[in-house]
Amino acid sequence: MAIQRDNDLAGLPAAPAREWVRRNIPEADVSGPWRPEVIAGGLSNITYRLPLPSGSLILRRPPLGPLLPRAHDVGREYRVLAALAPTDVPVPVPLGFCADPDVIGAPFYLMPEVPGVVLRTRDDTGRLTVTRRSATASRLAETLAALHAVDPVSVGLGDYGRPGGYCQRQLRTWGRQWERSRTRHLPDMNRLLEALAARAPQQDSGTSIVHGDYRIDNVIVDLGQTPQVAAVLDWELSTLGDPLADLGSTMAYWHDLGDSKRYEIPVASGVTAWPGFPSAAEFAELYAKASGRELGDLGFYLALGTMKLAVILEGVHARYLSGQASGPGYATAGAAVPTLVARGLAQLSAS
């Protein structure tokens, strides 16, 4: 009879990972075979599914290879999930965090797998009815508004970021990230950063917990009789900041019906380009209604979100060129960067 060996995956050595889970998560049954899987989707932190007899767990760790300073901090992800678990914001309840990089090569945390679906592709949303698409978009807007309504101090996140000056800091931070990760000379990015700096509001529209990468394929949706957001995922960019910047990031990923020019972006490409989904501008109005916020200079916030996405994808492209990452999303990330930069400039000019 053949002996089944535990599966080692890149970034997740079986023996130390299994032992850490056994010692630190008593409700997890690790007596059976260790057969982890990499969950498809996402171009940043690595997500693994651990199918166990007691129920599947999800493990998150930073990507392989050199990392930008302060990027991919899974400890911050764990902290914000623990803080938001008792609120109306749907999140997975985290089970344990390992800060010791010697265990599997990087810090990591675990949480239970939340039932539901992640709508990653155009085909995923193409199978939904028009009514379900509309309801899903409404729940997305309402959930973002619910996050921004949470008082950071009341959930222990009063020191999770600096109050005030968020947009100015974002421009400095992402400008530095661009210089660290860029693989080419792209003068239009310098133009975009300068134009954003000149247009940045003197004061934020408020201070709230911001997700930083809120989009349709970063949530788990319960497609029951009435679609609901079952959990918001991927909190690695979360901090305290301007809630309208969070909305702008969401809109940067949004694909309007017939908007084929955005399909070159290898994240959530075409997912919302179906009848029933509102346009990006209509989604912003749904958020305004749910949150009671004035939208202010939405063109600036949209261009800011577009710039951030361009920098993120340039970092993905850099890891791909260095051989630290593979897959269709990584292979096409670089081509999307100039498209996004041009779009950011156009968004500022049009508003």
Q: Do 198 and 336 fall within a single domain? A: yes
Q: What is the CATH number of the domain that holds 160?
A: 3.90.1200.10
| Domain range enclosing 183 | 122-350
How many CA atoms, within 13 angstroms, populate the side-chain half-sphere of residue 51?
Answer: 8
For residue 340, the 8-state DSSP code is H
At residue 66, the pLDDT reads: 55
**What's the rounded Cα separation, in Å, for the pair 341 and 338?**
5
> Domain ends where: 80, 112, 144?
112
Please check whether residue 185 lies inside any domain of the structure: yes
Please check whether residue 9 lies inside any domain of the structure: no
Please check whether residue 184 lies inside any domain of the structure: yes
Quickly count: other Cβ atoms within 10 Å of residue 231's Cβ.
23
At residue 152, the pLDDT reads: 97
**What's the rounded Cα separation, in Å, for the pair 82 and 84?**
6
Backbone angles phi, psi at 86, to 5 degrees: -85, 0
Q: Do 161 and 102 fall within a single domain? A: no
Compute the radius of gyration of the chain from its Cα atoms. Answer: 20
Please check whether residue 196 lies inside any domain of the structure: yes
For every residue of 51-71, DSSP letters joined together read --TT--EEEEEPPSS---TT-
At residue 63, the pLDDT reads: 81
At residue 1, the pLDDT reads: 33
How many CA atoms, within 13 angstroms, populate the side-chain half-sphere of residue 169?
Answer: 13
* Torsional class of 272: left (φ above 0), alpha (ψ -120 to 50), beta (otherwise): alpha
**Which of 173, 209, 204 is closest to 79 using CA atoms?**
209
Helix axes 243-253, 130-149, angle to 10 degrees: 160
Q: Are strands 96-98 and 208-210 parallel, antiparallel or unpaired?
A: unpaired
**Which of 259, 262, 233, 163 is closest to 204 using CA atoms?**
163
Residue length of the chain = 351
Task: Write down the pTM of the prediction.
Answer: 0.89
At residue 2, the pLDDT reads: 38
Q: Do 60 and 162 fall within a single domain? A: no
At residue 327, the pLDDT reads: 60
| Sign of the four-CA dihedral 90, 91, 92, 94 | negative
Quickly count: other Cβ atoms within 10 Å of residue 294's Cβ.
10
Q: Are strands 57-61 and 108-112 parallel, antiparallel or unpaired?
A: antiparallel
Residue 135, token pair as written in the block: 């309801």
> Domain ends where: 75, 93, 112?
112
- In three-state secondary structure terms, 19 is helix
Residue 228's DSSP bridge partners are 222
Please check whether residue 217 lies inside any domain of the structure: yes
Please check whether residue 7 lies inside any domain of the structure: no
**Which of 20, 18, 21, 22 is closest to 5 using CA atoms?**
18
Q: Do 63 and 95 fall within a single domain? A: yes
Q: What is the CATH number of the domain that holds 107?
A: 3.30.200.20
**Which of 312, 250, 307 is closest to 281 using CA atoms?**
250
23-43 pLDDT tens trace: 999 999 998 889 999 986 555
Please check whether residue 5 lies inside any domain of the structure: no
Residue numbers of the chain with a pLDDT score lower than 70: 1-5, 40-43, 65-72, 260-264, 266, 324-329
> Domain ends where: 112, 135, 162?
112
Q: Do 148 and 288 fall within a single domain? A: yes
